[in-house]
Every structure is written in C-alpha cells, then in structure tokens.
Amino acid sequence: MELLLMRFPQPTATSLVRQMPCLLHASKRKRYRVFSALENEEDDPYFQAAMERASLRFQETLRPGMILYTAVLYPLFIDPYVRCLLPPDIQMDVNQDSHEHCLATKFIDDKLLCTIQNDDGLRQVVLLTDGMDTRPYRLKWPASTILFDASPDKIFRRSIKKLEEVGAKIPRSCFFIHVPYETSDIQQLLRNKGFNGARPSLWVFQGLPIMTLANFKDILGAVSNLAMKGCLFFGELPSWLVETEIGSRTKWMDKLFMSHGLKVKMIKHDEVARNLGKESAPGDHKNILFVAEQLQFSDDQMEIWRREFQRIEEGDEEGFEEL
C-alpha cells in the first residue's frame, strides 16, 4: 500500500489552548544544542533538566501538521510561551517522533481540564513542577481558579521574568500563587498561601525535582493530608524511584500510594500514544504515568467534623442537665 505523507498547515491553537500571540520563532544565524547554550548561564542540573523538557515542548509545538493516509496529524499541543524560556540560539529537529515527555504533557493537560470542567466546585489546582510550566498561561481555566505552583524558587523567578517580558498573563478572574519547593514544610506553606483542605483540589506532578524516595513520600504525605476525599493526584514520576525496589512495579506502587490513603493506577505510554494516533518510542520509559484518587478525608475535613461532633456532644450535655 502506498504511503501518503503530506505537509499540512499547523493550527494556531487547539480547544485546550487559550488564544494568545504567537511567539514561535527561532534564530537562523546560529544553531547549538540546548545544553551547549546553557553552559555559561546555569550549572544547576535541575535548571538544565527543566530546560531540556521545555525544549521538547517547543519541538512538539513546531511540529508541522501531516496527512497520513486519511488522518490529519497535528502537534500534540501548542505552547505559545515556551519559546521565551529557551536560549535564542537552539537547534530543533521537528521530524522526530513525539517524545514521551510530550505524550505525558498531553495526557496531563487533557486529564486536568476534563476533571476541572466536569466539577463546578473544583477551583484549586496544585502544580508540582520544575519551574518552567506554562500551563497557568496557556490553558483555559474556569473563573476563580486558584493555581498553586510548587517549584524551585530560582527557576520559577527566572521563568516568570521571561514570561512577563513577552506579555504572558494569567486570566484576570484567576489567581496564581508560587510556593517555593525549598521550604521545609510545604503543607504549612500551602495553607499559609490560602490553600483550603476543606474544598476540592486537583494535584499535578510533572518535573518537580526529587532526589530520593523520601522526597516523594513527603509529597504523598502533603496530598494525603491536604486533599479532600475523592480528589485526584496524577502526573509522571521518575522510573528510578520504582527501580530501587525489588519485586512487581505495580504492587510496589500500590503499596506506596495506599500507605498514604491513595489508590493508584499506572498508565502505559503506549496506551496514551495509541489513543492519540501516535507511535510510542520502543524500550523502557524514563517516567511512569499515574492517576491516584484520595480515599481518606483531609485534615481540614476531619477538623470540621471533630468540631461539629464536639458541638453536638456539648448540646446533648446541656439538654441532659436541663432535664
């Protein structure tokens, strides 16, 4: 069968992306690889990892549309602002297959917006990121959404400066709050910043630097204590976390999440790619996609019910004394 492969004009936006000015242009004078361009700017490995992920999202955004047989293949997503976070001289190969990071980004985007749009009371979103996440700017958020970005402070502040320089803005009806990940007590800082554990929330994990399994357990503890029953926590975590343990990966994940009151399901990249009409790169993946549901009540929910129970109990005692 003859393969029909044609270039197709790239769409300016998708239904998941807010209409914004296009910032997608690259210098043609010099072309260096990402890390070469960064050598004199930052030696921080977390910064370089964040820049690598940003370059992959930029590469996906630049991917030209194609017609394959009777199907039209567009980029997985369009990020109008990621260009400003990258060096002015950067080399992109738009003919490569979609990277697993981009598949994960698309999966998380869709899951996030589908969940928040189907729940009128869900207006708190916690993004656990590398400091270069442009979701607060590029996605369509319902009015009154509060976005908490927990990420490395230095990287976040650099990104914010770059984004402000190109005119990136959060919707006026929404709130954007940064929570430095370096804090010793992220739970308390989230509360101090206005997070309410007695209201629905959505938690997304992608790119946040974690050095040890203990670091990730701290994140699970925060979700377990702050998220209301029924809330979702999803994203991608490094495969090396699981590879440090012996035995079934699925059983280990189940045990880890369940120990914090969360029921988890692992999502295969192949499945995501197939649903999107894409091909997933063969071999082992660097990250694990997951979706977890909170099974227990948050600390704030428990405190509210404790007070209510105490009030009822005191009322019963007063009624008994009157008798």
> In this predicted structure, what is the pLDDT of residue 20?
37
- The arrangement of strands across the sheet holding 5-8 comes to 5-8, 65-68, 71-73
Cα gap 210→46, rounded to integer Å:
10
**Percent of the chain residues past pLDDT 70, beyond the cut:** 76
Specify the range with the lowest mean pLDDT, choosing from 181-190, 278-287, 313-322.
313-322
* CB environment 100-128: b (16+ within 10 A), e (fewer): bbbbbbbbbbbbbbebbeeeeebbbbbbb
Nearest CA among 43, 40, 140 for reference residue 87: 40
Q: Give the number of residues written for the chain.
A: 323
Please give the residue that has the higher pLDDT: either 121 or 71: 121
Cα gap 229→30, rounded to integer Å:
52
Backbone phi, psi, residue 149, to 5°:
-105, 105
Backbone phi, psi, residue 236, to 5°:
-140, 140
CB atoms within 10 A of CB 306: 10
What number is the average pLDDT over the span 134-150?
96
How sure is the predictor about 312, in pLDDT bands with cuts at 50, 70 and 90? confident
What number is the average pLDDT over the span 202-227?
95
Cα gap 106→24, rounded to integer Å:
19
3-class secondary-structure state, position 107: helix
> In this predicted structure, what is the pLDDT of residue 18?
42
Cβ atoms of 115 and 102 closer than 8 Å: no
Cα 30 to chain centroid distance, Å, stands at 32
What number is the average pLDDT over the span 152-179?
96
User: pLDDT of 289-298, one tens digit each?
Assistant: 999 999 999 9
Where are the CATH 3.40.50.150 domain residues in the chain? 100-303
> In this predicted structure, what is the pLDDT of residue 93?
65
Cβ atoms of 153 and 129 closer than 8 Å: no
133 contacts: CB under 8 Å, gap ≥ 6? 127, 149, 151, 206, 207
CB atoms within 10 A of CB 9: 8
Cα gap 318→269, rounded to integer Å:
61
> In this predicted structure, what is the pLDDT of residue 74?
78
**Percent of the chain residues past pLDDT 90, beyond the cut:** 59
What number is the average pLDDT over the span 130-149?
96
What number is the average pLDDT over the span 49-54?
95
Q: What is the DSSP letter of 83?
A: G
User: pLDDT of 253-281, one tens digit each?
Assistant: 999 999 999 999 999 988 898 888 777 66
State both tokens at 209.
């630097």
Q: Which CATH class is domain 100-303?
A: alpha beta
What is the amino acid identity at position 271? E
**Beta-bridge mates of residue 8:** 65
Nearest CA among 297, 181, 292 for reference residue 190: 181
Cα gap 121→110, rounded to integer Å:
18
